[in-house]
Amino acid sequence: MNKTILKTKKLSAYFGKEKVLKDIDLSFPEKKVTAIMGPSGCGKTTLIRCINRMHELIPGATITGNVYLHDENISALNPILVRRKIGMVFQRPNPFPTMSIYDNVIAGYKLNGLRLPKDEMNTIVEDSLKKSAMWDEVKDTLHRKGSFLSGGQQQRLCIARALAMKPEVILLDEPTSALDPKATSKIEELIVELKDTVTILIVTHNTAQAARVSDFTAFMYVGELIEFGNTSKMFTVPDNKMTEEYLTGKFG
């Protein structure tokens, strides 16, 4: 049995009066990749933004129900602490444009006012860049601005920045949708490698990508969880007719 690290209980999300997530019950296995897929506007991004308490930053946005990390209700924790434990990488690569590659990786510590000895910072930067398969490409240019990198490298730099905080979970919101096929392939390889050390949730509308990188898949439609299970089973014999229609391209 896979150990659960994160779960939602009757999680609903609202923008004003509009209910965009409807009573989601999900358990995410530790050190596995879970894909969250479904057509645009089905609530995928809202779900992961609830999981690291970013949804509540939007004016008029609220949630009901609960999210648990190791059985601890995250609504009882400081949101900054939640976002350290549950890192996030967005759809478009967003390195801080005025910062060097080195400072981008360590940015979370500086933004949180955490002071570290120089040698410890050096170790974290090197380790995070190695984990994101970037070290050999940038080790001689650490003090150049991150904005000089290609789109795929910028996205891996954002993954390194998230990993530097030593999170237990990383949320990836369509992390390859702005990238070319070669850069996409590198990120997918990286995701598969990273699950040895961290639990990954990846939002994607690309069913082929979900099939390639994930161990488990959640299929959502109009704010509802339609099906959740082992990826290889879901992609061969889904339980729900709607899942089958989505996977065979009948809608989405």
Q: Identify the DSSP state of 39.
A: S
pLDDT at 114: 86
- For the chain, give every domain's residue range: 4-94+168-247
Q: How far apart are CA 101 and CA 93, in angstroms?
A: 13
pLDDT at 82: 95
Q: How far apart are CA 126 and CA 103, in angstroms?
A: 12
Tokens of 5: 């690290």
Amino acid 231 reads: T
The angle at the Cα of 133, spanning 46 to 82, to the nearest 5 degrees, equals 35
Which among 87, 137, 85, 129 is positioned nearest to 105, based on CA atoms? Answer: 129
Q: What are phi and psi of 105, to 5 degrees?
A: -65, -40
Q: What CATH code is assigned to 4-94+168-247?
A: 3.40.50.300
pLDDT at 219: 97
pLDDT at 33: 98
pLDDT at 1: 72
| Beta bridge partner(s), residue 35 | 202, 217
State pTM to two decimals: 0.95
Q: How far apart are CA 161 and CA 101, in angstroms?
A: 10
Q: For the purposes of burial, counting CB atoms within 10 Å of the CB of 65, is it exposed (0-12), middle (13-18) or buried (19 or more)?
A: middle
Q: How far apart are CA 21 and CA 224, in angstroms?
A: 6
Give CA torsion, residues 229, 209, 131, 175, to 10 deg.
-110
Q: How far apart are CA 199 and CA 28, in angstroms?
A: 8
Helix (H) / strand (E) element for 161: namely: helix 151-164
What number of residues does the chain have?
252
Q: How far apart are CA 136 and CA 187, in angstroms?
A: 16
Average pLDDT per run of 10 along the chain, which is 252 residues long? Answer: 93 96 98 96 95 95 97 94 95 92 95 90 97 96 93 96 97 95 95 96 95 98 97 97 93 74
The 10 Å Cβ neighbour count of residue 206 is 16
The angle at the Cα of 32, spanning 29 to 33, to the nearest 5 degrees, equals 110
